[in-house]
Chain A
Amino acid sequence: MNNKAHTPLFHVSRRAALPWYGAWGIRAAALIIALLACALITNLITGLNPLEVYATIWQGSFGSARRTWVLFQNIAMLLCVSLAITPAFRMRCWNLGGDGQMLIGCLATTACMILLGGKLPNGVVILCMFVSSVLAGAIWAAIPAFFKAKWNTNETLFTLMMNYIATQLVAYYIIIWEVPKGAGKIGIINQSTQAGWLPQIGSYKYLLNILIVAVVCVLMYVYLNYSKHGYEIAVVGESERTARYVGIKVDRVIIRTMFLSGAVCGLAGMLLVGGTEHTLTTTITSGRGFTAVMVSWLAKFNPIWMILTSFLLVFLERGAGQIATSFGLSASYADILTGLILFFIIGSEFFINYQIKFRHAAGKED
């Protein structure tokens, strides 16, 4: 008879909180391993030597002044959406509707530009764009929030569906406003008058957007960490029952936070249409609402760290795009590399929160 109990080779236990440098050290290690894996795969597909892979990625992001500006513009847009969804995430309210809320903001902006452009002074048009896009985004997010607060309707799927409704709404208005008729697209709005275009600072097309997002980032940091609202969000996220017990009106916090979340998404939409694109398509957000989820989560919902994580994702995307163009690969190559790196970083969280104890180590403890 075998009386010995079976001891597994190792067992997993929760780690006491790591110091911040330990946690970020593990993440950095995961990132480095992920980059090595990416270089290896690129090497297998294109035959490029790994050092050149990194050089090409660097080229794609910082190769010229224009590319650098585009990089920072993309970071700003992604960061803006990430900041927008963060308050909701801190509340454990999974707002996957960033895309739709941004798109509806784009739509509101476009409507103002087309319908009011030239009829009102430019400053007023821009004010209308701001108000309408922020409101549109906020309402788009508040609808799921209302049902979540009232009947605990699953917000993940509700917001997801709202994305597609927004897409179809945009498709509808694109056909209504298409120029010329039957083209199926809007083209550059008010190209001659530039009515409703956000002003340029000097000769830097993207600078205004970047500055606005930087301000939003700081405000969001302060709001989340040093305001009463931010504290309420944190309490609701940790435990709804505790929140109710201490007298926080949970349903009101949910609706208010989602409203804010959508408002910032709408703002991002306005910056995108009014600031840089000056047109409207159904794919104008290019999935940023989903990428933002990962940006926000990777930064542990901390607005300042998000600058770093959004930089990382955009940098990789542009870099992988550069590899794809210079080797005639499909542009989707960027998605593969991004996915791969995310897997590594997601996996590394395990080593931050848990530790593995091997059998012989456990034996010594006795």
Chain B
Amino acid sequence: MFDFVSFIPRAIMQGIPLLYGSTGETLTEKSGNLNLGIPGIMYVGAISGVMGAFFYETRVGAANMKGFLAVAIPLCCCLLGSFLMGLLYCFLTVSLRANQNVTGLALTTFGVGFGNFFGGSLIKLSGSSVPAIVLSGTSSYFRKTLPVSGSTGWFGKVFLSYGFLAYLAVLIALVAAFILKRTRVGLHLRAVGESPNTADAAGINVSRYKYVATCAGSMIAGLGGLYYIMDYTSGIWSSDAFGDRGWLAIALVIFTVWRPNVGVLASFLFGGLYILHMYIPSGMNLAIKELYKMAPYVVTIVVLVLSSMRNRRENQPPASLGLPYFREER
């Protein structure tokens, strides 16, 4: 019998970083910026949070940490780090009108390097024997669950057993969906992504919308990195631990056809596909597990192809995605 009660929480925990990443990237793409720097930004978000937590934890000692500060310091560091990355991307692509693909890839190179470099330096600083930073003190605050989650059986396990960042991810995704779909700001943002010329003519400040959406998107994506380290791995940073989840988050944006609210369930599905290989009984055949790991990517391709085949207007990417906007060019 397939063990759903243990599978679903793990799938959701895998899905949360992807949800953060894809919500952030959706906002960014709606403004017409294709930010391929998301994997790097998630690394930077994670390591910034880790650095904040590390210095707080070593300064005061794990025993007398204040709960509020233990959460607020990593959170602020993470937001600041990913905000700066978003700002850099915007400055290059919006103000200097650089090519978005190249800028994004450079940002990813830089971000992943930044994460692993400072991660490596902290490991050396902490003088630990294993190549990892362990922040169990901070992590215990991030992992705090509702007190009733232990006593409510399978219901508690499936719905209540997560840290606050997991619920925040769902909340942010729903709020983002609401803003995009139902508010004037969202309408303007979509206009900027679809046709910046028209938006500009209508008096919308194109650059400002692009800046705000991309920076906000980066900050949301950065939280995904923080969640992964503080909650999913219980506060253990090791080099390259985050892996290729950033790219998967970008894939998820297409999978959800640019709708953050769809992203909530889709990210859990992706999380499930990501860990499916651990749950399919394959005996001693290790090789076949590697093939199961293809699942999320294959599914993304299928969705990509199907949505382009059906060619429905509401399922298409923003029309000016990836193109720089220059007012004097018509």
Chain A residues packing against B (C-beta within 8 Å): 12-14, 94, 96, 147, 151-154, 156-158, 160-162, 164-165, 168-169, 171-173, 175-176, 287, 290-291, 293-294, 297, 328-330, 332-336, 338-340, 342-343, 346-347, 349-350, 353-354
Contact = CB atoms under 8 A, between A and B. Distances in A.
B101 A293 contact: yes
Given A157-B254, A169-B291, A335-B109, 13 more contacts: A94-B101, A152-B308, A153-B305, A156-B101, A161-B300, A168-B293, A291-B109, A297-B101, A332-B115, A336-B114, A339-B107, A340-B110, A350-B97
A334 B106 CA distance: 13
Interface stretch (B10-18, B147-155, B244-252): B244-252
A160 B99 contact: no
B106 A346 contact: yes
B55 interface: no
A13 B120 contact: no
B120 A293 contact: no
B99 A330 contact: no
B98 A350 contact: yes
Give the 4 A-B residue pairs with the shortest CB-CB distance, closest first.
Answer: A335-B113, A339-B110, A330-B120, A332-B116
A342 B96 CA distance: 14
Interface residues of B, number: 55
B63 interface: no
A169 B292 CA distance: 10
A154 B109 contact: no
Contacts, number: 156
Contacts of A153: 304-305, 308
A160 B119 CA distance: 27
A293 B301 contact: no
17 contacts: A13-B328, A14-B328, A147-B305, A157-B250, A158-B305, A161-B298, A165-B297, A175-B286, A290-B108, A293-B101, A330-B119, A332-B114, A335-B113, A336-B113, A339-B113, A346-B103, A350-B96
Given A164-B247, A168-B290, A168-B294, A332 B103 contact: no
Given A336-B113, A339-B110, A346 B293 contact: no
Nearest to B119: A330
Contacts of A171: 290, 293
Contacts of B290: 168-169, 171-172, 175
A153 B112 CA distance: 29
B48 to A, nearest CB: 14
A1 to B, nearest CB: 22
Most buried by A among B99, B107, B294, B309: B294
B297 A164 contact: yes
Interface in B293-330: 293-294, 297-298, 300-301, 304-305, 308-309, 311, 317, 326, 328-329
A151 B107 contact: no
A182 to B, nearest CB: 9
Contacts of B109: 287, 290-291, 335, 338-339, 342
Most buried by A among B110, B116, B317: B110
B287 A172 contact: yes
B129 to A, nearest CB: 16
B103 A147 contact: no
Interface of B: 34, 88, 91-92, 95-99, 101-103, 105-117, 119-121, 124, 239, 244, 247, 250-251, 254, 286-288, 290-291, 293-294, 297-298, 300-301, 304-305, 308-309, 311, 317, 326, 328-329
A93 B259 CA distance: 26
Contacts of A335: 109-110, 112-114, 116-117
B304 A157 contact: yes
B148 to A, nearest CB: 40
A290 B105 contact: yes
Nearest to B287: A175
Contacts of A290: 105, 108-109
Nearest to B34: A156
B293 to A, nearest CB: 5
Most buried by A among B97, B106, B119: B106
Contact of B301 (A161, A172, A291, A340): A161
Given A147-B308, A151-B308, A347-B96, A332 B317 contact: no
A55 to B, nearest CB: 22
B308 A333 contact: no
A287 B112 CA distance: 12
Nearest to A340: B110
Nearest to A345: B106
Nearest to A350: B96
Given A151-B311, A164-B294, A330-B116, A293 B300 contact: no
Given A294-B102, A346-B102, A333 B113 contact: yes
A292 to B, nearest CB: 10
Contacts of B106: 294, 339, 342-343, 346
Contacts of A165: 294, 297-298, 301
Given A168-B293, A340-B110, A293 B97 contact: no
Nearest to A155: B304
Contacts of B97: 350, 353-354
A330 B101 contact: no
Contacts of B328: 12-14
Contacts of A175: 286-287, 290
B117 A161 contact: no
Nearest to A94: B101
Contact of A332 (B112, B297, B329): B112
Nearest to A353: B97
A193 B286 CA distance: 29
Most buried by A among B115, B251, B290: B290
A340 B265 CA distance: 37
Contacts of B239: 330, 332
Nearest to A349: B98
B110 A343 contact: yes
Nearest to B102: A297
A14 B113 contact: no
A29 to B, nearest CB: 15
Contacts of A336: 110, 113-114, 117
A349 B96 contact: yes
A35 B113 CA distance: 18
B7 to A, nearest CB: 21
Contact of B254 (A147, A154, A333): A154
